[in-house]
Amino acid sequence: VRGLDASNGQSLWEYRPDKPVWNFMASFPRDGTVVFQDMEGKAYRLHLKTGTLIWKVGGNPGTWTDGTLSLGPDNVVYAVATRDWQGQGHKFSKGDLWAYRLSDGQLLWRNEIQRVPNVAPAIGKLYKQDKFSVVQAAGQQVLKGGDTYVYAYDAETGKLQWTFDGPLQQGDLQAGDAEGFQLRESYLGRGLCLPNPWGAPVIDAAGTVYIGNQEGPLYALRDTNGDGTVEGPDEVSRFDTYAAFAGSAGPSLAPGMVAVASCDSLFVFKEPKDRPKAEPKAEPKAQPKAEPEAVPKTLPEADLRAVPKAETKGKSKGKKTSG
């Protein structure tokens, strides 16, 4: 990893991590430091001006992931890695999602994910939530019949909030890779995209998750009823692009607009300006006033002591271990 002077490109420092980096995506906390992870999932924090190591932590030795870490607005670093690798072509490999405190690298929690997390997580506030959540996509890539999932976790505790079951990989290749292969091979030198199961997720201001799948759909996801499972037309919207998505990139958001690039094309969606407005409700006719009932002079005092809230049970497809 090399730090360069942005004004002239001069090299300022070099740092060699314990393992190579892959899909390198650094995050900058705006405090004079930089954080990133290597291909085994180990997270690093360096001084931005000197490249001096502040801390490094985690990782699963001997593994490899396409995923990268993300820095949340809660000053927590979220890193990903492969765990229990079963080999290429095996759909039951698992993964890890770690949460580390930015200041000192202290482990806050770890979740074992039932499929490999090969993209960076997204951190934001989900639909009807006033606290931060972590959205992580997972699945075994380049595997016919391989299953795919999207998980949402409480950013503070790591508790699973909801799960979305994505589509299985239908063919030997992902959407769009077989179509036009020879033409791309002849003119571009690379005929296949060979993407991850998912593109990177993003969360908009309304708490909707946008994410592209290897089978071609771009999804908009919300757990509107809070039952822990995202499913049905009220919670899942999709647009088929007929091509897969690169795992190192996700949709871009602007007011009233979503833009996303698949392995094939750029798609831009705009909120319609002429969206029809709901018809005003008819005013109910005035009813004759009823005679007021006699009210007792004194009312019994209510018990205003706090009542403990009931715990809600949700589905869990991953095992969580607190750190």
Residue whose C-alpha is closest to residue 56's, from 100, 116, 96: 100
Predicted pLDDT at 90: 58
pLDDT, mean of residues 5-20 = 96
Whole-model pTM?
0.80
Q: What is the pLDDT of residue 225?
A: 96
Is there a contact between 44 and 38 (Cβ–Cβ < 8 Å)? Answer: yes
Buried b (16+ CB within 10 A) or exposed e, 207-222: bbbbbbbbbbbbbbbb
Other C-beta atoms lying within 10 Å of the C-beta of residue 94: 19
Give the tens place of pLDDT for each residue, 231-281: 999 999 999 999 889 877 899 999 999 999 998 899 999 988 776 554 544
pLDDT of residue 275: 62
pLDDT at 143: 82
The amino acid occupying position 14 is: E
Q: DSSP state, 66?
A: S
Contact 48, 33 (CB under 8 A): yes
Q: Would you say the C-alpha torsion 251, 148, 152, 248 has a positive or negative sign?
A: negative
Query: Could you tell me the pLDDT band of residue 294, with boundaries at 50, 70 and 90?
Result: very low
User: Mind listing the pLDDT tens digit for each residue in 80-122?
Assistant: 999 876 665 556 789 999 999 999 999 999 999 989 999 999 9
Quickly state the pLDDT bin for 173 (edges 50, 70, 90): confident
* CATH class (in words) of the domain with range 1-117: mainly beta
User: Could you tell me the residue ranges of all domains in the chain?
Assistant: 1-117, 124-148+166-272
Closest CA to 188 of 264, 271, 262, 79: 264
pLDDT at 311: 41
Closest CA to 99 of 124, 130, 74: 74
pLDDT at residue 312 is higher than 60: no
Query: 124-148+166-272 is classed in which CATH architecture?
Result: Beta Barrel (2.40)
Q: What is the pLDDT of residues 208-225, one digit of tens each?
A: 999 999 999 999 999 999
Domains 1-117 and 124-148+166-272 share a fold: no
Give the pLDDT mean for 189-213.
90
Q: Nearest-CA neighbor of 150 among 101, 83, 97, 191?
A: 97
**What tokens appear for 100 in the block?**
């580390």
